[in-house]
Amino acid sequence: MKIALLGYGKMGKMIDSYAKKRKHRICFILDRDYEKGSLTEADVAINFSVPESAVSNIKLALENKIPVVCGTTGWLNRISEVEKFCIKNNSGFLYASNFSIGVNIFFKVNKYLAKLMSPETHGYKASIKEIHHAEKLDSPSGTAISLAEDIINSSVYEKWELGTQKNKSLKIESIRDGDNPGTHSVNYISKMDEISIKHNAYKRDGFALGAIIAAEWLVNKKGIFSMNDVLKI
């Protein structure tokens, strides 16, 4: 499989390494002021760029009929635009806020728990806490937003808010410190007790491997997909 890497920071370099271990070839690299290789040779593109470049990078691949796996967060206010562009160009697009297999299982556990812990029924208040390395640009993380949206869909909460907990808003606490690859916890607190679920990433390798697995799955497919399609969960 020939891969175009859109963004060549820490994650891009790690994906490059894992792709070669799985006998794939990087045929194109695009970074801020750097371009190497041939995009049109690619079977699939993987985008881990900065949020400001995400949409233009994705569209560049899609208009060349190259399906795109995207792990960049912080640009989702334009995701419907990208999905429409994908359909118009008869290509494939797969976005995930997190490509770790463990996190995608965590998403399922969170959805199920949210249905059980309805605050109007049991008196629990939900909150989310996420911790990432100091270099992460967006806050809160895309993973935290995904967790929040799934809770909101099964509760009386109407929206999430960063750092505050109002009557019908779900609080997300976001911390940037050190070199933490990613820790996410969902907490439910009542006057009687507390229930928590947590995912702690030890290193970024799981994200890179998951993105490559998604790319292998996406080759020659057309439409809009998620990691649920890849993992069949």
Strands (E), 56-147: 68-70, 92-95, 125-132
What is the SS3 assignment for 32?
coil
The helix (run of H) or strand (run of E) holding residue 13 is: helix 10-21
Its pTM stands at 0.82
39 band by pLDDT with thresholds 50, 70 and 90: very high
Q: What percent of the chain has pLDDT over 70?
A: 98
CATH code of the region 2-99+205-231: 3.40.50.720
Q: Output the pLDDT for position 121.
A: 58
Q: Which of 13, 59, 125, 136 is flagged as catalytic?
A: 136
Tokens of 230: 């890849």
Q: Which of 41-45, 73-77, 105-109 is the least confident region?
A: 73-77
pLDDT at position 119? 55
Task: Name the pLDDT band for 228 (thresholds 50, 70, 90).
Answer: very high
Cβ-contact 52, 31 below 8 angstroms: no
Q: Burial of 178 by CB count in 10 Å (0-12 exposed, 13-18 middle, 19+ buried)?
A: exposed
CB contact set of 33 (below 8 Å; sequence gap of 6+): none
Q: pLDDT value at position 135? A: 87
Query: In CATH, which of 3.40.50.970, 3.90.180.10, 3.30.360.10, 3.40.47.10 is domain 101-200?
Result: 3.30.360.10
Residue 151: per-residue pLDDT? 95
| Rounded-to-integer distance, Cα 164 and Cα 161, Å | 6
Sorted by where each begins, the domain ranges of the chain are: 2-99+205-231, 101-200
The pLDDT score that the predictor gives to residue 107 is 96
Q: Find the length of the chain.
A: 233
Tokens of 28: 């194109």
- Cα–Cα distance, 174 to 165 (Å, whole number): 13
Average confidence score pLDDT of the chain: 93
> In the annotation, is 132 catalytic?
yes
Helix (H) or strand (E) holding 114: helix 101-116
Cβ atoms 79, 70 nearer than 8 A: no
Q: Find out whether 157 and 89 touch, Cβ atoms under 8 Å.
A: no
Which pLDDT score, from 0 to 100, does residue 120 have? 59
Q: How far apart are CA 233 and CA 58, in angstroms?
A: 26
Is 122 an active-site residue?
Answer: no
**186-198 per-position pLDDT tens digit:** 999 988 899 999 9
Most distant CA pair in the chain, distance:
61
* Local confidence band at 153 (pLDDT 50, 70, 90 cut-offs): very high
Per-residue pLDDT of 80-138, as tens digits, reads: 999 999 999 999 999 998 999 999 999 999 999 998 886 555 788 899 999 999 988 88
Among 109, 70, 42, which residue's Cα sits nearest to residue 226? 70
Active-site annotation holder among 2, 24, 132, 199: 132
**pLDDT attached to residue 229:** 96
Report in angstroms the alpha-carbon separations of 152 from 3, 92, 95, 186. 36, 28, 20, 13
What average pLDDT score do residues 164-180 get? 90
